[in-house]
């Protein structure tokens, strides 16, 4: 992936006209109505700019799916318009889809900070994608991108080098906040430059497109500095091995864990690929300078259990993450046992509750104590996102004419909308849905149209399909109601030769008397169905298969009140 001082020019093909070629428009193609899959499109007089391109995580209603991507179809259908993609920071929900979709987006130049570029480089390499022109930007720098002049505002967040974007256009100024908070003393990275924001507000801000994640939470977000004290207090109470799990991208948290462990006479051992990758990027840029050295996994067995803190991936219950495997006793060389403690220095992302609780139950069965932020006496996790008081402060700095809440589920968007509407001489508030096209300039700003949007699913094997693909629905039905496979051997005249073969998944166990009786009844039903067909129908494999499938489904509805996925195969001899 090439690093350039200036991004390559976009395609020269003549763009197809759209209804949004005049004026300044904003369209979230992902990231509004749900967590993750952020893909934010700005359109000014026929030229386009993208902010972020992130993933979402599949839940247990999407079997066989690893991650989710925003659907870039609208951009694909309108080539030649996109000036650039700006990635505001290196969290997966903002950067993770870039390597998957960059070519489908028309191979635009990419702009991001140095830490984000280090993470993005690895993603492009892992995907085997080459030739992406990346311009590394610095705080306060401005990139001229067609009608857009994008200025990077340094902001505090739970990852190094996050930025917000002041986007100046001939039609007005927009502030795209991305993720931020107002932590005055982050252990790693930047503070939010309130001076830049105030100057932007003094000069006039047309619209604020802002983070809604914690808009339902009163007060202001605590500082990461409080987490150090909370972890230190928690560590002092533990007599045996400690494991801390959290988000691997939170380098400030890594630093706090290392310092708190050192203060307690312990060494930190990092376990899990994503932690190693993030820490390597942070070391390259000097963010780990002065942090006590980590303990290698190979040295664990030679180190007393009360002198160790494991820093492990898997805070969200991810199936292949280190903590999940350790809890199940499936991680070679690393184990937890009775008297040990696991500290969750993270929040529970909506949709991950079942997976997280499954891991915590496995730990409890091993006699391992589990400490979550709700149970800890001190602060062991703070969010990287603004609470209500922080959002109000942002409004004071910017004084926008329009507020568009993004980045969150509907209740979160509405919570920020309520905050904006409650202000004296408050701004106009427009709550978007994914795919909504919002005109920001002109006499009547508001939703003026809708474009295609949706989600793509990356299967565990790497194939990318539509999230509504029939295969996912079939897997879901199979998981819920089982699968029946029936094999029939018929002669040329259509007579059944021998007993049907029946295999079931998730339905019956023929070693059990009651289940064996159900199978016997199913054999009888299948044989009766074949015998009842006309000679002409029995001579047609497809008609036999359809008839037997219908009979089997009807049988299971009567016998077990389920509708399993049913597959019938006919062999002629």
Q: In the beta sheet, which residues pair with residue 496?
A: 490
Beta strands (DSSP E) in 413-525 are 428-429, 436-439, 446-450, 455-459, 464-466, 483-490, 501-505
Give residue for tokens 């059944």: 496
Quick one: pLDDT at residue 465? 67
Decide: 21 and 62 in contact? Cβ < 8 Å: no
Per-residue model confidence as pLDDT tens digits over 204-244: 999 999 999 999 999 999 999 999 999 999 999 999 999 99
Quick one: pLDDT at residue 373? 95
Give residue for tokens 């759209």: 18
SS (H, E, C) 335-392: CCCCCCEEEECCCCCCCCHHHHHHHHHHHHHCCCEEECCCCCCCCCCCCCCCCHHHHH
Q: In the beta sheet, which residues pair with residue 51?
A: 40, 86
Residue 387 CB coordination number (10 Å) = 20
Percent of the chain with pLDDT over 70: 94
Three-class SS of residue 74? Answer: helix
Three-class SS of residue 95? Answer: helix
Per-residue model confidence as pLDDT tens digits over 427-452: 999 999 999 999 999 999 999 999 99
Distances (CA, A) of 231 to 226, 245, 259, 525: 9, 12, 10, 64
- Name, in order, each residue with C-beta under 8 angstroms of 172's C-beta and a sequence gap of 6 or more: 24, 204, 206, 207, 440, 441
Total length of the chain: 573
Cα-to-chain-centroid distance, residue 558: 41
- Helices within 104-193 (DSSP H only): 114-127
DSSP letter (8 states) at residue 143: E
Q: Which domains does the chain have, with CATH numbers?
A: 24-219+383-466 (3.60.15.10), 225-371 (3.40.50.10710), 482-572 (3.10.20.580)
Per-residue model confidence as pLDDT tens digits over 74-113: 999 999 999 999 999 999 999 999 999 999 999 999 999 9
Quick one: pLDDT at residue 275? 95
Rounded-to-integer distance, Cα 556 and Cα 551, Å: 9
Quick one: pLDDT at residue 473? 62
């Amino acid at each position: 992936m090439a690093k350039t001082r200036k991004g390559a020019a976009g395609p020269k093909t003549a763009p197809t006209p759209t209804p949004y070629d005049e004026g300044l428009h904003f369209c979230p193609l992902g990231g509004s109505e749900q967590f993750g899959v952020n893909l934010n499109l700005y359109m000014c007089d026929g030229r386009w700019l993208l902010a972020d391109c992130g993933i979402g995580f599949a839940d247990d209603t999407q079997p066989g799916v690893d991650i989710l991507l925003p659907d870039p179809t609208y951009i694909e259908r309108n080539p030649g318009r996109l000036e650039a993609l700006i990635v505001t920071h290196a969290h997966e929900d903002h950067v993770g889809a870039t390597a998957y979709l960059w070519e489908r987006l028309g191979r635009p130049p990419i702009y991001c900070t140095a830490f984000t570029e280090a993470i993005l480089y690895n993603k492009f390499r892992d995907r085997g994608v080459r030739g992406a022109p990346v311009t590394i930007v610095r705080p306060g720098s401005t990139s001229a991108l067609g009608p857009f002049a994008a200025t990077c505002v340094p902001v505090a967040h739970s990852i190094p080098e996050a930025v917000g974007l002041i986007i100046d256009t001939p039609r007005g100024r927009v502030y795209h906040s991305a993720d931020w908070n107002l932590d005055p003393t982050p252990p790693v990275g930047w503070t939010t430059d309130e001076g830049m924001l105030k100057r932007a507000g003094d000069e006039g801000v047309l619209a604020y497109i802002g983070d809604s994640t914690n808009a339902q939470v009163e007060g202001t977000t605590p500082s990461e500095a409080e987490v150090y004290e909370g972890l230190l207090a928690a560590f002092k109470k533990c007599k045996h091995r400690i494991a801390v799990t959290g988000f691997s991208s939170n380098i400030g948290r890594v630093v706090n864990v290392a310092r708190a462990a050192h203060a307690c006479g312990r060494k930190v051992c990092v376990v899990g690929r994503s932690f190693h990758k993030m820490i390597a990027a942070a070391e390259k840029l000097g963010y780990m300078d002065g942090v006590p050295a980590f303990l290698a996994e190979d040295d664990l067995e030679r180190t007393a259990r009360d002198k160790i803190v494991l820093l492990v991936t898997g805070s969200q219950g991810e199936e292949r993450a280190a903590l999940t495997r350790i809890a199940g006793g499936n991680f070679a060389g690393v184990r937890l046992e009775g008297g040990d403690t696991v500290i969750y220095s993270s929040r529970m992302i909506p949709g991950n509750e079942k997976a997280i609780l499954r891991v915590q139950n496995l730990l409890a069965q091993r006699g391992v104590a589990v400490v979550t932020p709700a149970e800890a006496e001190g602060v062991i996790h703070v969010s990287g996102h603004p609470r209500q008081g922080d959002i109000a402060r942002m409004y004071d700095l910017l004084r926008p004419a329009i507020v568009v809440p993004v980045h969150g589920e509907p209740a979160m968007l509405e919570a920020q909308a309520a905050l904006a509407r409650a202000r004296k001489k408050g701004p106009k508030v427009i709550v978007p849905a994914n795919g909504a096209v919002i005109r920001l300039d002109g006499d009547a700003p508001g939703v003026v149209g809708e474009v295609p949007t949706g989600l793509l699913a990356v299967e565990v094997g790497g194939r990318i399909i539509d999230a509504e693909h029939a295969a996912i629905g079939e897997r879901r039905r199979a998981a819920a109601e089982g699968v029946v496979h029936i094999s029939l051997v018929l002669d040329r005249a259509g007579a059944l030769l021998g007993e049907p073969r029946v295999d079931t998944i998730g339905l019956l166990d023929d070693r059990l008397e009651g289940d064996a009786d159900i199978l016997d009844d199913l054999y009888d039903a299948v044989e009766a169905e074949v015998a009842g067909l006309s000679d002409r129908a029995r001579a047609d494999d497809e008609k036999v298969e359809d008839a037997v499938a219908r009979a089997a489904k009807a049988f299971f509805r009567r016998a077990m009140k389920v509708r399993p996925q049913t597959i019938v195969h006919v062999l002629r001899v």
